[in-house]
Amino acid sequence: MSAPTLHSHIGHGAEHAKAHHGKPKLAVWKFASCDGCQLSLLNCEDELLAVAGAVDIAYFPEATRAVVEGPYDVSLVEGSVTTPEEIERIQHVREVSRKVITIGACATAGGIQALRNFGDVAEFRSIVYAHPEYLSTLSRSTPISAHVSVDFQLRGCPIDKGQLLEVLAAAIQGRKPRIPSYSVCVECKRRGTVCVAVATGTPCLGPVTQAGCGALCPAFSRGCYGCFGPQDTPNTASLAERLRVLGMSEVEVMRIYRTFNAASEPFRRESERHERLVEEGVAP
């Protein structure tokens, strides 16, 4: 998706907000994550000056050591909850924030680290670390919305910066963000990209994945692997059947649903269904 200017998103709304309440205070928080979504904000380059002009960047350790005390008008939260300390910290974030917006697959679905939810975390810990007894970790990685109420969830791994600017502008203006919930297939059709599933039989999760990336992978002749998570009402079972016709085994279908958004409800349910089929020996 191309990134429109922040001014085009905010327009007079920000001026109105500033005139009446001063600049809205923005905080950016990190939980269990790779920092990639926060970097999307830093990568806004030219837009960053507009962001800095439109909001008071009050708390953003990735970008500045200066800290302005809360409460905050808007909190962007990256990352999932994976430790007991994080459960307490997210309660604090909620208490000091007027709006909480989660950004990225980690924060909205538990992220790649939610693969632990399908296994035994104690076993993983003992294999990976020499002294697992020093670690304090939860058995599951959960999205922020499993712990506190969230005002908006922005998908992607990483998020799209154009969408981030739209969500920020909407939060400042007090309106609903214009973020589509339809599938990547719609974006493919709009840009005139040849369907890789039809043309070359390449497995693609586009039909069940939420739009937002501009159909990036199909544009490079690759199948979508679902990094924006499930679209509204995805028919995961129907697509799974198609993936089987394209030559994927049950194990491969289970795995394709089990990546960055493995713990999102529709993808989790579908991957577990295929896991059961494999365990029951119904299919290879």
Least distance in Å: CB of 122 to ligand SF4?
24
Q: Is 51 helix (H, G, I), strand (E, B) or coil?
A: helix
- Taking the complex as a whole, the smallest distance from the CB of residue 95 to ligand SF4 amounts, in Å, to 23
Task: Name the DSSP letter for residue 174.
Answer: T
**Residue 271 binds to ligand SF4 (criterion: CB under 6 A):** no
- Taking the C-alpha atoms of residue 222 and residue 9, their distance in angstroms, rounded to an integer, is 31
Lay out the site mask for ligand SF4 across 215-254 (x = CB under 6 A, - = otherwise). Answer: xxxx-----xxxxx--------------------------
Q: Does 86 bind ligand SF4 (CB under 6 A)?
A: no
Q: Which residues pair with 156 in a beta bridge?
A: 159
Does residue 180 contact residue 212 with C-beta atoms inside 8 Å?
yes
Q: Which long-range contacts (CB under 8 A, 24 or more apart) does 187-193 make?
A: 187/211, 187/213, 187/214, 187/215, 188/215, 188/218, 191/215, 191/219, 193/218, 193/219
**Binding status of residue 206 toward ligand SF4 by CB under 6 A:** yes
The residue from 78, 86, 166, 250 that contacts ligand SF4 (CB under 6 A) is 78
Distance CA 211, CA 19 (A): 35
Task: Name the one range near ligand SF4 by CB under 6 A: 49-57, 99-107, 143-151, 262-270.
Answer: 99-107
Pick the stretch among 11-19, 49-57, 142-150, 192-200 that binds ligand SF4 (CB under 6 A).
192-200
Q: Which of residues 38-77 bind ligand SF4 (CB under 6 A)?
A: none
Tallying the residues shown for the chain, one arrives at 284
Q: Which 3 state secondary structure label does DSSP give 208? A: helix
The strand order across the sheet containing 97-103 reads: 56-59, 25-30, 72-78, 97-103, 152-154
Nearest-CA neighbor of 150 among 57, 80, 229, 64?
A: 80
The CB-nearest residue to ligand SF4 is 206
The correct pick among 44, 148, 168, 197 for binding ligand SF4 (CB under 6 A) is 197
Contact between 24 and ligand SF4 by CB under 6 A: the answer reads no
The least CB distance from residue 228 to ligand SF4, in Å, is 4
When asked if residue 158 is in the footprint of ligand SF4 (CB under 6 A), the reply is yes
Binding site for ligand SF4 (CB under 6 A): 33-34, 36-37, 78, 104-106, 111, 157-158, 184-185, 188, 195-197, 204, 206-207, 209, 213, 215-218, 224-228
